[in-house]
């Protein structure tokens, strides 16, 4: 049981480049989330998806897009990367009516 799997683990981008972070969960969870973690700022919600086919903005959505491809997969896209998007990104999921959220191992993104 892999839980929540994120790829890539590490990525360096040049300003203006685009990329997609992939996330998949094998726990049959309805809800999935993308967070970014920055020093002193904790975990901030970028986007979330309560169920397949739905997505909603979180606290810091600007500069990002998401796709809930199916129940298992939730991807995060940076269309034109900026240095301010240098961060650690975490995907997470939780089952319906259940309060525990499960995180992936993180994706370290550096934009130069």
Note the residues at the interface with another protein (CB under 8 A).
4, 31, 33, 35, 40-45, 48, 50, 58, 90, 92, 97, 99-106
Q: How far is the CB of 43 from another protein (least distance, A)?
A: 4
Instruction: Give min distance, CB of 58 to another protein, in A.
Output: 8
Minimum distance from residue 111 beta carbon to another protein (Å): 20
Taking the C-alpha atoms of residue 20 and residue 6, their distance in angstroms, rounded to an integer, is 11
Identify which of residues 15 and 37 has a Cβ nearer to another protein in the complex: 37
H helix or E strand, kind and range, residue 22: strand 19-25
Residue with tokens 């998401």: 66
Is the CB of 69 or the CB of 101 nearer to another protein?
101
Judge contact between 26 and 1, C-beta under 8 A: yes
Measured from the CB atom, the residue of 44 and 71 that comes closer to another protein is 44
Q: Is 48 within 8 Å of 110 (Cβ atoms)?
A: no
Peptide bond into 21 cis (omega under 30): no
């Amino acid at each position: 049981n892999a839980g929540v799997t994120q790829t890539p683990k590490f990525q360096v981008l040049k300003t203006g480049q685009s990329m997609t972070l992939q996330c998949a969960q094998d726990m049959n969870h309805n809800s999935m989330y993308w967070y970014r973690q920055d020093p002193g700022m904790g975990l901030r919600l970028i986007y979330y998806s309560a169920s397949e086919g739905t997505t909603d903005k979180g606290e810091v959505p600007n500069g990002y897009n998401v796709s809930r491809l199916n129940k298992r997969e939730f991807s995060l896209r940076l269309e034109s990367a900026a240095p301010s998007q240098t961060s650690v990104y975490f995907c997470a999921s939780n089952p319906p009516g259940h309060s525990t959220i499960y995180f992936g191992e993180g994706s370290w993104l550096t934009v130069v």
